[in-house]
Amino acid sequence: MRIASDINWSTVKAVIFDVDGTLYPQAPLRRKMLVDLVRFYALRPWRLQEMLMLRRFRAEREKRPAYAAGDLANAQYAWCAAGTSYTIPEIKQVVERWMLRHPNQYLAGCMYPGTAAFFAALQAYGIKIGIYSDYPAHDKLAAMGLPADAVVSSTDAAVDRLKPDPRGLLYLAAQFDLAPEECLFIGDRPELDGLCAARAGMPFLLVDPAPAAGMPFFHQLHHQLTSQVNAPRYEPDIFIA
């Protein structure tokens, strides 16, 4: 596992990001979501079990690190339904609303400082940007206004694995026609993201929400990139400050 100051940016040809907890801290988003959930279900107490459903859905996935038995996209709902009165269509509807759609409106305001500028700098220097998330991420990236050259989630057919199985990272490296060691994976959970990178043979960088130097994490990476690599490989259309 590396620290930010160890990165030799002249050798990095692609940066792959986790999403939740990596591009934004989870605590502010969870506070906003808790307020919305309480407001919604306070007026609909007969549906309170949906909040328990969401908690169970997440917990059942967490119990199965490196799941690789196939059909993850459907299996995750069956895990949540097992031994309960929940139906799979009900679970899908609740998860889609509260986990995959509703939070997106808050993401841009929760991003770590410097995230957008760092993405723009990567583009300017011709470094590929990949996304490997536990959950579908296209709509999240659109909500944050962040570009990516390739996006996969654990539930995509091409991956169909939960971290720390390395298939998602190896898939992205192959999409970029790069060796794993030419990529850098940035994540927030060493026990999942870090181990996933280790199993893929890919360098890993752990997000530091409060760097000792005082400079925000992505500002620090941006500064290191632009100071180590002399000239952009191409100019971006727009540089996001």
Condensed to tens digits (0 to 9), the pLDDT of residues 106-162 reads 999 999 999 999 999 999 999 999 999 999 999 999 999 999 999 999 999 999 999
Residue type, 9: W
Q: In what order do the strands lie in the sheet with 128-133?
A: 150-153, 128-133, 14-17, 183-187, 204-206
pTM, rounded to two decimals: 0.92
Contact 18, 132 (CB under 8 A): yes
CA-CA distance, 2 to 92, in Å (whole number)? 38
4-26+111-228: CATH class? alpha beta
Q: Compute CA 3 distance to the chain's CA centroid, rounded to the nearest angstrom.
A: 19
- Pull the structure tokens for residue 100: 């995959």
Q: Where are the domains of the chain?
A: 4-26+111-228, 28-106
Instruction: Give ∠ CA 229-182-225 in degrees, rounded to 5.
Output: 20
Contact 236, 120 (CB under 8 A): yes
pLDDT at residue 36, rounded to an integer: 98
Count other C-beta atoms under 10 Å from residue 208's C-beta.
14
pLDDT at residue 241, rounded to an integer: 35
The DSSP call for residue 149 is S
For the chain, the distance separating the N- and C-terminal CA atoms, rounded to the nearest angstrom, is: 29
